[in-house]
Structures are given as structure tokens and as C-alpha cells.
Amino acid sequence: MPTVKSLAENQSEALAEIGAIARQVGWGAIDILRSYYRGDSNEGDLEIKDKKDGPVTAADLAANRHILKNLQTALSHEDFGYLSEETYQGESVAKDWVWIIDPLDGTRDFINKTGEYALHIALTYKKRPMLAIVGIPEAEKLYFAIKGQGTFVETRDGTQEPRRVSTRNQIEDLAMIASRSHRDLRLNTMLERMPFKERHYMGSVGGKISTILEQKCDVYISLSGKTAPKDWDFAAPELVLTEAGGKFTSFEGNDLTYNNADVSQWGGLMASNGHCHQELYTLATNLLAEIDREST
């Protein structure tokens, strides 16, 4: 791993160097995940275990170990905190700069072999993302962004290309994407009443956001129920979307914050190409109120 400048010395240059390290670490984690996914060599046993928020596999844990070990080794000169799905102990991290990591987003899809799983690595500063990586292992693509520097996609050969969201600007022309499995009746009813041109469903938040970056879809909607998505589901996807020109907010139009006492992201979330964003979350809020009145 190369040495890097201190964030205190030159933040912009340091973030670019840290980003290069994070991409290298991300590709290594992608290789680990793909090896488990295919059952290669000695890494075929997923050792699936159930935990409170869903299953965890040997692949989650192996990728997590790789990410933490390599980031901590390469960046030991910085006072970073680390918040990972697989090591979270129920408390926020008392640091300004915190890595938020999901080594395997979409574990159920990984187990079910849908191919719809992703890798999330984000570096946050005072609860907001500054650097992000979203890896899509089965596409062998790695999306990355640094605050204020745009979003790019890197392929296995090192080729990098910028990514921008679509220019579609009428709700009736938009393609929506939502979770394949994390949908209750309330969310389904709301989605059915929104006048989208197309509706798609898939696993992994990172995977869904990648479809917006590739201009295949335009809107992703999440709504918590008995449980809620966590910081590691959103931190990296948010930045790669917003740096590509999109928007990612609550239904109230507020930015999300991360590394709070509660890592759950409760309520409604709207991610879009940005052109109808306020209109969309206003419509969603009104539809939910209508649905709730009908159910009482």
C-alpha cells in the first residue's frame, strides 16, 4: 500500500490517495466474495448463521476482515474510527472521521444466487459521507466518488469512466427500482399508486443505486416498517449517487446523517436522478397519509 498525505495537511489530495487505497481494498474484497459465491477452492462453505437483522455468512466475515485489516494497516497514521455491520457493538464511534462498511450488502441474494449483491465502503466526516465505494462483484464494476469530485466507475482492467444520472424529468417517464424482498403492504400500495413508467425490483441497495448511475432506472424508494435499513446500507450509495448528479434524502427533504446513537434509518427515503425529487417525496408523503387514513 502507498503512503498517503495527512488529511490535516491537504484534505483534497489526501482523500484522492485514500480513495486509491480503498479501491484496491475493495477489489480484494470483491475477489473474496466472488470466490465464496462460486464455491472456489476451500471457500465454498458459507456457514450461514442467523442474526437479528438477517443471515450472515463466512463470505461476509472474510470480506470484512480483509477490509478492516488493510484499511487499518495502510491508514494507521490517521485517527479513523470504523463502523462495520459485522463488528457493530450498538454504539456510535467517537471520532470525526469514521469508515462505514458493509462487506456484503444483499446477503440473502448472495445465498440465493441471484447475483444481486454489493460491497459498500464509505468514509464519513462529522456524520456525512466524503468518500465512497460501491462494488458490484458480478458485474466486476466498482463505483467510487469523493465529495465534490464526481462519480466514476472502474472496471477490472483499471479503466475509469465518469457516471451521471439520466435527464428524465417527468414522473410519468421515470423507472422506479425497489427492494425485491424488503417491502410490506404499505410500501407496495404506495409504489402501485405512483405513476411511474416502469417498475423494477432487485436486492442490494448498492445494486439498485448502480442502476440509476447506469441510467436504467431513476428512482429508489425505501420505507421502514418493523425494522429499518442501517447506516452501512446507505452511506456509500448516497455519495456515489449525489456526486453523479442525483439526490438522496428523507421524505422530508433532509440529508441523512450517519454514526448516530441509532444506526437505523427510520422513515421514508427517496433517492433519484434529482429532476423530480421534491415532487416525488411530496407525492410519496401524501400517498402514505392517504393509505394510512384508509386503513383506520
Render pLDDT for 249-261 as a digit per residue (tens, 0 to 9): 999 999 999 999 9
The pLDDT, as a whole number, for residue 170 is 97
Residue in the block written with cell 422513515: 267
Q: In this structure, what DSSP letter does residue 39 have?
A: T
Contact 57, 69 (CB under 8 A): no
For the entire predicted model, the pTM comes to 0.94
> Do 11-163 and 171-295 come out as alike in CATH topology?
no
CA neighbor of 93 nearest in space, from 104, 84, 102? 84
User: According to CATH, what is the number of the domain 171-295?
Assistant: 3.40.190.80
Q: Is there a binding annotation on residue 292?
A: no
Q: What is the pLDDT along the chain (296 residues), one digit of tens a residue?
A: 445 668 877 898 999 999 999 999 999 999 999 999 998 745 558 888 988 778 999 999 999 999 999 999 999 989 999 999 999 988 899 999 999 999 999 999 999 999 999 999 999 999 999 999 999 999 999 999 999 999 999 999 999 999 999 999 999 999 999 988 777 889 999 999 999 999 999 989 999 999 999 999 999 999 998 889 999 999 999 999 999 999 999 999 999 999 999 999 999 999 999 999 999 999 999 999 999 999 88
The CATH number of 11-163, from 3.40.250.10, 3.30.540.10, 3.90.25.10, 1.10.10.10, is 3.30.540.10
Query: Is 105 part of any known ligand binding site?
Result: yes
Predicted pLDDT of residue 181: 76
Domain boundaries, the chain: 11-163, 171-295
| pLDDT reported for residue 42 | 56
Which residues make Cβ contacts (< 8 Å) with residue 124, sequence separation at least 6? Answer: 97, 98, 99, 100, 130, 235, 258, 259
Helix (H, G, I), strand (E, B) or coil at 57: coil
Is position 184 annotated in a ligand binding site? no
Nearest to 83 by CA among 129, 35, 52: 129
